[in-house]
């Protein structure tokens, strides 16, 4: 069949047949695409839907985190406040001048004589904890009651201190005072703490 015969048959056919034939010819490219690329397009569509769902889940998770953000910020602020308070109690470095000034004031106030004040080397008693200790050997001369008040005030100083190894020696003659209260020589180890 030649092209002219086909054209003649087309012209002689009924109008409905011609419309059907034109519709069929119009559908041929779509059917060709469907049969040749349909599976790939369906796979791409499924992948796009999966990507949309994944991104939606990420969005919901991010939305949840944003909702939790004010509570986390409040908690962070609270932790920073606690850290600042802890740094006041446990400073980053030991101010020996301040310690000596405090001890001198206590010495005058409580009428105690500090005979020996020997700082030692800093060390970290426990490697898992982030603080260091500095031992200071003290020798005091005073009556027992004043010595105990001095040591009590010492451990209640604003910076964190601790007293260990308190040993009371024999009473010594206090020629200057000539009082009835015996003066004891007391040795102790003052522990100063610092953060790292």
Q: What's the CATH code of the domain at 175?
A: 3.30.70.60
Do 128 and 167 sit in the same domain of this protein?
yes
pLDDT for position 175: 45
Do 49 and 101 sit in the same domain of this protein?
no
Taking residue 152's Cβ as centre, other Cβ atoms within 10 Å add up to 11
Q: Which residues contact 63 (CB under 8 A, 6 or more apart)?
A: none
Is 183:141 a contact under the CB 8 Å cutoff?
yes
Q: Which residues contact 95 (CB under 8 A, 6 or more apart)?
A: 159
Identify the domain containing residue 153 by its residue range.
96-195
pLDDT for position 180: 67
Domain boundary residue, one of 44, 65, 89 = 89
Global pTM value: 0.51
pLDDT for position 48: 92
The C-alpha atoms of residue 173 and residue 38 are separated, in whole angstroms, by 111
Domain boundary residue, one of 51, 73, 89 = 89
Structurally, the chain folds into a number of domains equal to 2
Tokens 């301040």 belong to residue: 98
Number of continuous H segments (helices) and E segments (strands) in the chain: 4, 4
Do 124 and 81 sit in the same domain of this protein?
no
Do 107 and 176 sit in the same domain of this protein?
yes
Do 25 and 81 sit in the same domain of this protein?
yes
pLDDT for position 88: 66
Do 104 and 134 sit in the same domain of this protein?
yes
Do 104 and 167 sit in the same domain of this protein?
yes
Successive 10-residue mean pLDDT values, the chain, 196 residues:
74 79 81 77 88 93 87 87 70 71 84 84 75 83 85 77 79 59 82 73
Do 67 and 145 sit in the same domain of this protein?
no
Domain boundary residue, one of 33, 63, 89 = 89
Q: At what angle do helices 144-155 and 96-110 cross, to 10 degrees?
A: 150
pLDDT for position 196: 64
């Amino acid at each position: 069949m030649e092209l002219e015969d086909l054209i003649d048959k087309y012209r002689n056919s009924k109008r409905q047949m011609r419309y059907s034939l034109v519709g069929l010819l119009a559908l041929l490219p779509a059917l060709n695409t469907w049969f040749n690329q349909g599976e790939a397009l369906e796979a791409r569509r499924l992948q796009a839907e999966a990507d949309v769902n994944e991104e939606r889940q990420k969005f919901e998770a991010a939305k949840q985190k944003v909702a939790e953000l004010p509570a986390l910020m409040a908690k962070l602020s609270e932790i920073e406040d606690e850290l600042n308070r802890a740094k006041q109690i446990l400073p980053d470095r030991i101010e020996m001048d301040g310690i000596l000034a405090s001890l001198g004031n206590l010495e005058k106030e409580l009428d105690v004589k500090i005979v020996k004040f020997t700082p030692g080397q800093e060390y970290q008693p426990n490697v898992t904890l982030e603080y260091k200790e500095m031992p200071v050997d003290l020798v005091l001369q005073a009556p027992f009651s004043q010595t105990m008040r001095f040591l009590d005030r010492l451990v209640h100083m604003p910076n964190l201190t601790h007293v260990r190894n308190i040993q009371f020696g024999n009473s010594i003659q206090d020629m200057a005072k000539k009082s009835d209260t015996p003066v004891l020589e007391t040795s102790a180890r003052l522990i100063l703490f610092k953060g790292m």
